[in-house]
Amino acid sequence: MHDLAPLCALGGTDPAIETLAGVTLTEFPDLALASVSARRGSEAACRAHLKGLLNSAVPKPGRAVFKNPEAAFWIGPDQWMVSAPHASHADLTDQLNSRFLNTASITEQTDGWVCFDLRGEGVEEVIRLCANIDIDQMQTGDAVRTVVHHMGVYILRLDPANALRIFGPRSSAKSLHLALKTAMGAAL
Amino acid sequence: MSQKNRLDDGLIDRSETFSFRFDSQYYKGHKGDTLASALLANGVRLMGRSFKYHRPRGVMTAGSEEPNALVELRDGARKEPNTRATTAELFDGLRAESQNRWPSLAFDAMEVNDLLSSFFAAGFYYKTFMWPAAFWEKIYEPIIRRAAGLGSLSTRDDPDEYDKGFLHCDLLIIGGGPAGLAAALTAGESGARVILADEDFLIGGRLNLESHALGGMSGPAWAAEMGARLGAMPNVRVMPRTTVMGAFDHGVYGAVERVSDHLKVPEDGKPLQILWRITSKRAILCAGATERPIVFENNDRPGIMQASAIRAYANRWAVTPARQVAIFTNNDDGHRTASDLVAKGVDDVSVIDTRTDAPSSSDYNVIAGGVIDQTWGRLGLTQIEVKMPRGGIRRIKCGALGVSGGWNPNVHLTCHQRGRPVWNDAIAGFVPGEALPMGMTVAGAANGVFSTHGALKTGADAAKGVLSDLGLTAKTLPLPETEDAPARVTPFWHVKTAKRAWVDQQNDVTAKDIKLAHQENFRSVEHLKRYTTLGMATDQGKTSNIAGLAIMAEVAGTSIPEVGTTMFRPPYTPTAMAVFAGRARGTETRPTRLTPSHRWAEEQGAVFTEAGLWLRAQWFPKPSETHWRESCDREVLQTRKSVGICDVTSLGKIDVQGSDAAAFLNLVYCNGFAKLPVGKVRYGLMLREDGIVMDDGTAARLAEDHFIVTTTTGNALGVYRHMEFVRQCLCPDMDVQLISTTEAWAQFAVAGPKSRALLHKIVDDEFDLSNAAFPFMACAETTICGGLRARLFRISFSGELAYEIAVPTRYGDALIRRLMDAGKEFDVVPYGLEALNVMRIEKGHATANELNGTTTALNLGMGRMVSKKKDSIGSILSERPGLTEADALKLVGLKPVDPENPVPAGAHLMTKDAKATASNDQGYVTSACYSPNLGHHIALGFLKAGDARLGEVIGLVSPLTGINHDVEVVSPHFLDPKGERLRA
């Protein structure tokens, strides 16, 4: 076991938590991520593996599937982002490689992203000041690619639906956090 | 001062009294007042000075079309010039100043312009300030700017915040008057997602300004009830204080919500305004209509207003501008004002109707067939002179004159996509044409339907049409019974005998100016506009355009529709620049990207610089160092002597996988990659289609079907985009998958003769770091610090024995601390971008300065890298004529003949002793630094046939900085040309 201490994307040893008017913005570092991209000619086999992993139909465009421990959302044609708790799945990429073998290209994405959970009544009003998405039409399990203050993000509607998961570029975590926090102050 | 002109009733809250200041005087008003209504209540009619002639002006309207009553609202950094008093909501403590006057509003020295008015006709500036040309900037313009103008900026940073937001709906309804309310109720009750936006703070539009009843209720009461009903619907968003200011492509509208303008200071964290981008499937424009004035002699005195505005002030704000009021009208609507005023207790009312068949009244005097011949009152109207139908003049004392020339539908938003309005004889005005913005329909007065019943019905009908389009079943709601009077208007645009008669009051354009423009052959409506400035003020001519067109038509002997209209453009009303910026101000203009070692570097006191969006450490000053060069030199020397560490995370990393990954890279790089062994890294050069170098970097082969490509920091995105384009469009049959992993890995360069020794202490024991097992250009996946997965590359930008080590980003901070700790015994240093740059120049490595979008592989001395054994992007065009001439520019090193001299980047190279002219130009310097290892300045540059000129002494000139001395052409590899250090 190595002895290097990780930092959260915002630079703290503990995740940052902001609460305002019943809405909580939480940095969520306990997440391992890996992209799964089907190899050409192996799309069906790749989907079958993903289906087996999730024990569910694979997410369609704009959709996510939340299962435990793995979850996945669609990020492109025959391409998905798979997540699992980091504490138990730090080696998620290796695990997926073992399962998918040569049917998919698996790439570690764990620390490419900062993950924020925005939870509480009124999250829609916060998002309205951040992203040009039709948040009212988003149901649990919807996952969209959009832009928040020039930063490319994914926004997922969780279950229950008053919670959103936002993935943004890790190096811009502070800028994204500021944008979300400011929007909370303005909207709530 | 008491509110001497306050009447009874109205929609103000008399339980709340606000104190406010206009210029140096304090007044009282009530909640629900605008600044204009409160000033009128206090008997203040003079509110500003005109733009050009500094004529005294008062409020003309009761809405956003106001041309005259512009004030500087608030003070200090919050000062907001050119704010319309008619839309500024009163709050306790409000402060406003009149503008464009000196020393005071009542006595303005610049009023002398008015006496000289005969010199200031249209085109005056163009004709007068032609010569001498040099005088314009220094003399004429400053004088004109001082004499003419509007409010002034505070020139301080705006302390308020602004937001941008996004809304989506089935139906956007623009305007909350009777048509908008009927449309919203119909659509809302039918289940559509509706946004109802209105620029006013009270929903209801003219229902709040009129006295007619709707189904037994007063107009305001009905509007309030419907507003509340809509507000309770979860599928309807009612947005008062929101101006839809532009119709853009594909059903997208821009709207400004004034969230906190009605407050003294915004609540903590709340924006002053929000710029909403509304994406709608359909829109109904219910923007109402604007009453147009009639043009007559001295028609701009304070107290002369739209007749409908006088009515509005009386009905909604319980204010009359004076106790003696006259009305000048060409239509029945003018009579409504008289009736309403009488009903409100203003009993001295006269109506001058241009029509000989004007309706008579027992409540007020009517002069049928009369016209206004002259008005009196320097700072406010005192008397009018009426030319009687049978000859003679009648003088009438009055403090206010309401003018009604008919109504113009507010067609502005229908024109934002180049739609042109069409003339409608029945209302003598323009109505929306057929070419409307996508998804828009128009209802109510905006479409020329002026009765309240007509507005309700067309609003509801428009909503039903939209619902049908959207596949929703429309509910038919009962509409209240209300007035349905026909619009009876006999066009009367101006009194022809008038000499000083204002058409555009904001830009001081007179009827005479329009005639002059015609006389001088500016006859196209667009020329008329620009020559006279008619309609070019901040109100976009809302009250002036049609009268201007009518006068032009008259002098041209044609009709108004034949004269045509100018184009309305967004924004509908003036919009603060700040709201377009939103939160993107100062350091938040763009997102910032931080490296994994940022926190640690801050602790070391690093100086940061921007590299794209990244902040990178530039150098790490020691307490004793006072100049960046000291820090940089130390970092360079220590790295070359022992070991240095640099965060190189910002370099782009692209994961390339698939059975065709090698073939793919073989296509995008001009040099060969197909045969790169697993566990090896290769330098690669990527060309654009046109043969110019796009980027350079490395590709490491981790497995047969797995590469990691690195890019320069600045080109990371461009290269990734290019590779995706190649993958998806040029070779979609290849089995290759790409994804960026730039941020996923914290990567550090560990460079210097002691780098291996340092890494020995970090990399886990199983891994053999020896030169034999892990030679130059090797790569491997390994573990460090007892099991953390890591990637190790033996590559060198500095020219030293060097490695790059990558770990998951969350461990980057811990790793730099560990490396620095473990390196203490070697006196390890962190080095920043400056030292990195010095070392790569010493080594002759190219960077963005050399890959500058004009250079080829041949220029860079890498012509032979462009493989002829395979096809690759750009390889053919890199051989085109002009890029391969014998005297093509070649990368060379340069050193000063006199070691004390610098060799600055940007300087040009000339044949020795040749005159410094463009025709003698031999090349230019791209990168320069002081080399602490060599003890003098060095540089890289491009020189014609440079590779054959080593040893030649040439001239270096920089005319801008006055540099002119000799340099010697040398190899670009100043240090270790054989590469023995990096292979050690």
The tens digit of pLDDT for each residue in B708-730 reads: 999 999 999 999 999 999 999 99
Is the residue at A36 inside a domain? Answer: yes
Residue B441 falls inside a structural domain: yes
For B282-310, write each residue's pLDDT tens digit: 999 999 999 999 999 999 999 999 999 99
Query: Are residues B147 and B199 part of one domain?
Result: no
Q: Which residues of B touch A29 (CB under 8 A)?
A: 810
**pLDDT over threshold 90, residue B136:** no
Instruction: Give yes or no: residues B437 and B456 share one domain.
Output: yes
* Percent of chain A with pLDDT strictly greater than 90: 99
In A, minimum Cα distance to B591 occurs at A175
| Pair A21, A60 in one domain | no
Task: Check pLDDT > 70 for residue B1.
Answer: no
User: Is the same domain home to A43 and A60?
Assistant: yes
Please tell me the predicted confidence (pLDDT) of residue B299: 97
Question: B174 lies in a domain?
Answer: yes
Q: Do B428 and B356 belong to one domain?
A: no
Identify whether B781 is part of a domain: no
In the predicted structure, residue B80 carries a pLDDT above the cut 80: yes
Instruction: Please report whether residue A11 resides in a domain.
Output: no
Range of the domain at A174: 17-29+111-187
* Residue pointed to by tokens 């620390």: A111
Q: Examine the domain organization and report whether A100 and A136 are in the same domain.
A: no
Distance of CA B196 to the CA centre of its chain: 25
Answer yes or no: is B317 within a domain.
Answer: yes
State the distance between the two ends of chain A, measured CA to CA, in whole angstroms: 44
Q: How confident is the model at residue B148 (pLDDT cuts 50, 70, 90)?
A: low
Do residues A93 and A43 share a domain?
yes
Residue B567 inside a domain? The answer is no
Which residue bears the tokens 């490595």? Answer: B845
The CATH number covering residue B397 comes to: 3.50.50.60
- Find out whether A167 and A3 touch, Cβ atoms under 8 Å: no
A183/A120 same-domain check: yes
Domain count, chain B: 4
Q: What is the ipTM of this complex?
A: 0.98
Chain A residues with CB-CB distance to B658 below 8 A? 39-40, 105
CATH value at residue B943: 2.40.30.110
Q: What is the mean pLDDT of residues B413-426?
A: 95
What's the full length of chain B, in residues?
984
Segment B755-779, tens digit of pLDDT: 999 999 999 999 999 999 999 999 9
Query: Using 50, 70 and 90 to split pLDDT, how confident is the model at B221?
Result: very high
Q: For residue B449, is it within any domain? A: yes
Q: Given B420, B448, B469, which residue is the final one in a domain? A: B469
**pLDDT tops 90 at residue B126:** no
Q: Decide if A76 is inside a domain.
A: yes
CB contact under 8 A, A128 and B655: no
Beta carbons of B165 and A129 less than 8 Å apart: yes
- Asked whether the bond before B480 is cis by omega within 30 degrees of 0, the reply is no
Mean pLDDT of A64-83: 97
Residues of chain B neighbouring A150 (CB-CB closer than 8 A): 584, 590-591
Q: What is the pLDDT of residue B110?
A: 81
Domain boundary among A85, A108, A131: A108
Residue B143 and residue B177 share a domain: no
Give the minimum alpha-carbon distance from A93 to chain B in angstroms, rounded to a whole number: 12
Lowest average pLDDT, out of B131-140, B232-241, B252-261, goes to B131-140
Q: Which residue in the block uniquely carries the two structure tokens 């039409």?
A: A137
Residue A2 belongs to some domain of the structure: no
What ranges in B21-140 are assigned the alpha helix state H?
A: 35-41, 112-115, 124-128, 135
For residue A128, the distance in angstroms to the closest alpha carbon of chain B comes to 5
* Reported confidence tier of residue B313, pLDDT bands at 50, 70, 90: very high
Q: Please give the full DSSP string across B478-494, using - where no structure is assigned.
A: PPPP-------B----B
Q: Residue B580: is its pLDDT beyond 80?
A: yes
**What is residue B557's predicted lDDT score, i.e. its pLDDT?**
94
pLDDT tens-digit map of B246-296: 999 999 999 999 999 999 999 999 999 999 999 999 999 999 999 999 999
Query: Where does a domain end: B405, B425, B460?
Result: B405
Residue B143: its pLDDT value, please? Answer: 78
> B365 with B282, same domain?
no
Clarify whether residues A115 and A25 are in a common domain: yes
For strand B400-404 and strand B324-329, is the pairing parallel, antiparallel, or unpaired? Answer: parallel
Domain end point (choices B128, B143, B159): B159
Residues A99 and A118 in one domain: no
* Average confidence score pLDDT of chain B: 95
Identify whether the C-beta of residue B281 lies closer than 8 Å to the C-beta of residue B447.
no
pLDDT of residue B140: 81
| The model's pTM | 0.95
Q: DSSP for A109-151?
A: -GGGEEEEEEESTTHHHHHHTT--S-GGGPPTTBEEEEEETTE
Residues B344 and B423 in one domain: no
Do both B944 and B900 map to the same domain?
Answer: yes
Residue of B nearest to A184 (CA): B269
User: In the predicted model, is pLDDT for residue B122 greater than 90?
Assistant: no
Same domain? A36 vs A104: yes
Q: Is any Cβ of chain B less than 8 angstroms from the Cβ of A56?
A: no
**Containing structural domain, residue B246:** 162-289+409-469
Which of B594, B610, B654 to mutate to test binding with chain A, by most A CBs within 10 Å of its CB? Answer: B594
Examine residue B389 and state whether it is found in any structural domain, yes or no.
yes
Same domain, B188 and B223: yes
Instruction: Give yes or no: residues A87 and A58 share one domain.
Output: yes
Amino acid at the residue B260 = S
Going from the C-alpha of B424 to that of each of B428, B429, B433, the distances in angstroms are 6, 6, 10
- Which range has the worst mean pLDDT, A135-144, B39-48, B95-104? B95-104
The string of DSSP codes covering B462-479 is HHHHHHHHTT-PPPPPPP
What is the mean pLDDT of the segment spanning B89-105? 93
**CATH code assigned at A134:** 3.30.1360.120
pLDDT score for A33: 98
Q: What is the CATH number of the domain that holds A68?
A: 3.30.70.1520
pLDDT of residue A183: 97
Specify whether B120 is located in the same domain as B63.
Answer: yes
Q: Determine how β-strand B273-285 pairs with β-strand B162-174.
A: parallel
Residues A103 and A115 reside in one and the same domain: no
Number of domains in chain A: 2
Q: What is the pLDDT of residues B646-700, one digit of tens each?
A: 999 999 999 999 999 999 999 999 999 999 999 999 999 999 999 999 999 999 9
Identify the CATH number of the domain in which residue B9 sits: 3.10.20.440
**Whether residue B103 has a cis bond before it, omega within 30° of 0:** yes
pLDDT tens digit sequence for B583-631? 999 989 999 999 999 999 999 999 999 999 999 999 999 999 999 999 9
In-domain check, residue B983: yes
Q: Enter the tokens of residue B203.
A: 């929903």
- Tell me the shortest Cα–Cα distance from B656 to chain A, in angstroms: 9
> Is residue A95 located within the same domain as residue A136?
no
Same domain, B398 and B320: yes
Q: Is A39's CB within 8 Å of B658's CB?
A: yes
B9 in the same domain as B117:
yes
Residue A6 lies in a domain: no
Question: What is the per-residue pLDDT for B145?
Answer: 75
Residues of B in contact with A4 (CB under 8 A): 785, 788, 807, 811, 814-815, 818
Do A176 and A122 reside in the same domain of the chain? yes
B329 and B439, same domain (yes or no): no
What pLDDT was estimated at residue B776? 98
Percent of chain A past pLDDT 70, that is, above it, reads 100
